[in-house]
Amino acid sequence: MASVSDLTYDLLTVLQSKLEACAAYDLYMKDVQQAGDKEAQSLLVSLKRDDEKHIEELVSEIERRAREGKLR
């Protein structure tokens, strides 16, 4: 059976969580827009932007580990 290291698994799990969060922000944004709450909208936009930055960092780290043969 193929496996990955605990650290690789952890990074992939965090990546999945961040991706799911970004999808959730899009859903929540509809509610915020309907409510007309500019402060909440600004907060969700900021949180999503931060998570998108973290996604890029995680992808870069996973790619680096793959290039270096450190996934297992």
pTM for the predicted model, two decimal places:
0.88
Whether residue 1 is predicted with pLDDT greater than 70 in this model: the reply is: no
Helices (H), the chain: 6-35, 38-67
Residue-level pLDDT at 57: 98
Task: Dump pLDDT digits (tens) for 11-41.
Answer: 999 999 999 999 999 999 999 999 999 999 9
Contact of 7 with 61, CB cutoff 8 Å = no
**In whole numbers, what is the pLDDT of the chain averaged over residues?**
95
Residue-level pLDDT at 2: 76
Contact of 8 with 63, CB cutoff 8 Å = no
Plot region of 43 (φ>0 → left; ψ -120 to 50 → alpha; else → beta): alpha
Which amino acid belongs to residue 53? K
Categorize the per-residue pLDDT at 52 as very low, low, confident or very high, splitting at 50, 70 and 90: very high
| Angle (nearest 5°) at CA 18 between 56 and 65 | 45
